[in-house]
Amino acid sequence: MAENIKVDLELDLRGLLCPLPMVRVSQNITNVPIGGIIKAIATDPGSLADIPSWARTTGNEVVKTERADKDITFFVKRLK
Amino acid sequence: MEQKTEKKKATIIVISGDFDKLFAAFTIATGAAATNMDVTLFFTFWGLRGIKKNMTTGKSLFGRMVGLIEGGDVTKANPSKYGFLGMGRWMFGKMMKNKNVSGLSELRQLAIDLGVKMYSCITSMEVMEIDKKELIDEVSGVAGVALMVEEAQNSEFSLFI
């Protein structure tokens, strides 16, 4: 998936530690329409496990994860 | 995945007033609530520190003694190891601030914002002479073991911390 993903909301979660990155994504998921995308940038290595797990449990989807230096960028799609 | 209209539930019984255990309880509660669960916390005995206001409690001699030793709110919780008469609390507070981890009161506020329900155990309030008005206003109510058992029966997981 090299094409650009249309982002509806961007969250800067750098510096936040568990459980905050996942909580912030969950608090904001209803701020995008169904099918919409949240781009969340975190630095907590735990979020690599937590955010996909949160998505599976809540029925949403992490469509792409990027890593650059310390930044971990998630593209989370709201499915319902 | 099966589709349920009703949210899944989680119940956490908090008996410890230790900093690290309260931290775990509020973190799990927050995480579960963010994952779309209905979370209920029951605070009993030393765990009542988790929902107390910052004031001394007690009426009788022993009650006031307990109030003096156990006095204060969640910010006065000491870690279960490395207590060092309050030094440990200060040290952990500093370490957490440096790592940008939220403190106990912030974490509790987050749990409240996410709709986590909090009940206090009536019997331990009686024994320790803690009044309802000495608990934070966000406490949903006082309860006994029957409500706890009912909640636990309907829960996906129950924890005793």
Nearest to B100 among A15, A57, A58 (CB): A15
- Average pLDDT along chain B: 90
What pLDDT is stored for residue A72 in this prediction?
96
Instruction: State the pLDDT at residue B4.
Output: 54
Strands A37-42 and A9-13: parallel
- The verdict on residue B4 lying in a domain is no
**Confidence (pLDDT) at A3:** 62
Q: Which of B63-77, B85-99, B140-154 has the highest mean pLDDT?
A: B140-154
- Chain B residues whose CB is inside 8 A of the A59 CB are 1
- Determine the average pLDDT of the residues in B23-33: 96
Measured in angstroms, the CA of A38 and the nearest CA of chain B are apart by 16
In a domain, B1, yes or no: no
Contact B102 A20 (CB under 8 A): yes
Q: How would residue B55 be classed by pLDDT, with cut points 50, 70 and 90?
A: confident
Identify which of B35, B99, B102 has the shortest CB distance to residue A54: B35
pLDDT over 90, % of chain B: 61
Distance CA B124, CA B50 (A): 13
Chain B contacts to A (CB-CB under 8 A): 1, 27, 30-31, 34-36, 99-102, 110, 114
Residue A23: closest C-alpha in chain B: B34
Assigned domain for B119 exists: yes
Q: Complex ipTM, two decimals?
A: 0.80
Which of A13, A23, A29, A70 should one mutate to test binding to chain B, selecting the residue with the greatest count of B CBs within 10 A?
A23
State the sign of the Cα–Cα–Cα–Cα dihedral B71, B72, B77, B83.
negative
Is A18 designated active site?
yes
Instruction: Determine what percent of chain A is predicted with pLDDT higher than 90.
Output: 90
Per-residue confidence (pLDDT) for residue A39, from 0 to 100:
97
Would you list which residues of chain A are within 8 Å, Cβ to Cβ, of chain B? 15-20, 22-23, 26-27, 54, 57-59
Domain membership flag for residue B5:
no
Asked if the Cβ–Cβ distance from B34 to A59 is below 8 Å, we say: no
Structural domain total, chain B: 1
E strand map for chain B: 9-14, 38-43, 117-121, 141-143, 157-160
Of B87, B69, B66, residue with least CA distance to B78: B87
Mean pLDDT, residues B149-158: 95
Rounded CA separation B51/B59 (Å): 19
Q: Is the pLDDT reported for residue B138 higher than 80? A: yes
Q: Is residue B7 in some structural domain?
A: no
Please report whether residue B92 resides in a domain: yes
Domain of B135? 19-160
CATH code for position B138: 3.40.1260.10
Domains parsed from chain A with CATH numbers: 9-62 (3.30.110.40)
Given a cut of 50, whether residue B1 has pLDDT beyond it is: no
- pLDDT of B159 reads 97
